[in-house]
Amino acid sequence: MYHIPIIYENDEIIIINKPQGVSVQGGAGIAHPLDKEFPKQLGHEIFLVHRLDKDTSGLMIVAKTRKAASMWTKLVASHAVQKEYDAVCIGKFSKKSGTITDTVSEHGVLKNAITHYTVTAEKSIVCADGEMVLLSFVHLVLGTGRMHQIRIHLAKQACPIAGDDKHGNFVHNKLLKKTCGVKTLLLAATSLTLPFDGSSHTFTIPLPDSFVFF
């Protein structure tokens, strides 16, 4: 089993740092999901407020009661909670910052989606076969929270996230795995800003070890 780091806790919610590779919710073929394993660690039930992809690590809110889950789910949906991410992308963006507004298909329905991005660094990697791969380090702020939104939006910019095995550049992923040991999706939820006790509170975490080569 795995241990879930707790970043903050009050009477209503717990902010956790979800490890990469952990599914948030159980289902067919899913072993040891967070909604089943984390209660064992705590000794009491939890209620999901929002989700992160299995391959995305980072900050996530869970609630201690159904009432708190209902309230915080509405706060997240109303954008009262600001979610920020960091990613390593393959390629070079045409602009150093901007807003991506391409629609995203969610359960077969096209929905509006908004992702704000800022490129904070670029780096060239000479791979094992001599090919050069340009990487961009990107900070992202979500305007909406569609399924796989960030991964789809960045892929549509021709700058997919390194290690993305669904929307990514499979040839370059293979080269980066061989050269730099990139084995996972390089996307992490690194900052959460949320309202409680009459003010706004921001929680941040360091980048995962998988980002260390950048």
Determine whether 53 is an active site residue.
yes
Residue 99 near residue 76 (C-beta atoms within 8 A): no
Instruction: Tell me the torsion sign for CA atoms 88, 32, 192, 107.
Output: positive
3-state secondary structure of 62: strand
pLDDT tens track for 15-30: 999 999 999 998 777 8
Q: What is the pTM of this model?
A: 0.93
pLDDT tens track for 137-181: 999 999 998 989 999 999 999 999 999 999 988 999 998 988 888
3-state secondary structure of 131: coil
3-state secondary structure of 2: coil
Q: pLDDT value at position 127?
A: 80
Q: Is 120 left (phi over 0), alpha (psi -120 to 50) or beta?
A: alpha
Q: pLDDT value at position 214?
A: 66
Of the candidates 11, 35, 53, 55, the residue annotated as catalytic is 53
Q: pLDDT value at position 213?
A: 66
Q: pLDDT value at position 210?
A: 87
Q: pLDDT value at position 6?
A: 98
Low-confidence ranges of the chain (pLDDT < 50): none
